[in-house]
Amino acid sequence: MSILVKQPNFTYAPEEEEGVGTIQGIQAGSTEEWRVAQALGRFDIPFIYQYEIYDSSVRGGIVLDFLVLTVPISTPLEVYGEYWHRGDLSSKDRQREITIDDYFRGQALPLLIFYGADLQDQEMADAKVRSEILA
């Protein structure tokens, strides 16, 4: 199975609205995701937001927060914001990470995770994207 079969529908920056807006026509899932999308846009890094790995309409379906279209191969990126991922990660979170890595194995870089503590404001999100994706 090739991840390149899906035709990307990406933009470089989210559509700005009051506060947290939409990213590629989809309401941002969190403030942290919004900040990451803004940072990717500022650095002209193409991405696909809410990249469906396994059918999300069925139990066990997985939607990746971002597939960052880095060269020469893409970078899967999850954003663990403060709202959805408080405290310790559950075994379900860890299994999800393993499943994502397995899906992309050999076709993309390993899963990259940004944590809410590193994305408290836009300046921090910009710095995180600069150090982890542009480095």
Residue 113 has pLDDT above 50, yes or no: yes
DSSP-assigned letter for residue 118? G
Left (φ > 0), alpha (ψ -120 to 50) or beta: where does 55 sit?
A: beta
| Interstrand relation of 62-68 and 75-80 (parallel, antiparallel or unpaired) | antiparallel
Q: At what angle do helices 122-132 and 31-42 cross, to 10 degrees?
A: 60
SS3 state of residue 5: helix
pLDDT above 50: residue 1:
no
Lowest mean pLDDT among 16-25, 94-103, 122-131: 16-25
Q: What is the pLDDT of residue 81?
A: 82
Q: Would you say the C-alpha torsion 20, 116, 124, 102 has a positive or negative sign?
A: negative
Q: What is the CATH number of domain 13-132?
A: 3.40.960.10
Tokens 């404001």 locate to 121
Around 97, how many Cα atoms within 13 Å sit in the side-chain half-sphere? 14
d(CA 100, CA 40): 21
* Dist. CA 17–CA 28, nearest whole Å: 11
Contact (Cβ atoms closer than 8 angstroms) between residue 34 and residue 105: no
CA-only gyration radius of the chain, Å:
14
- Per the model's pLDDT, the better-predicted residue between 106 and 7 turns out to be 106
Element (H, E) at 93: helix 91-104
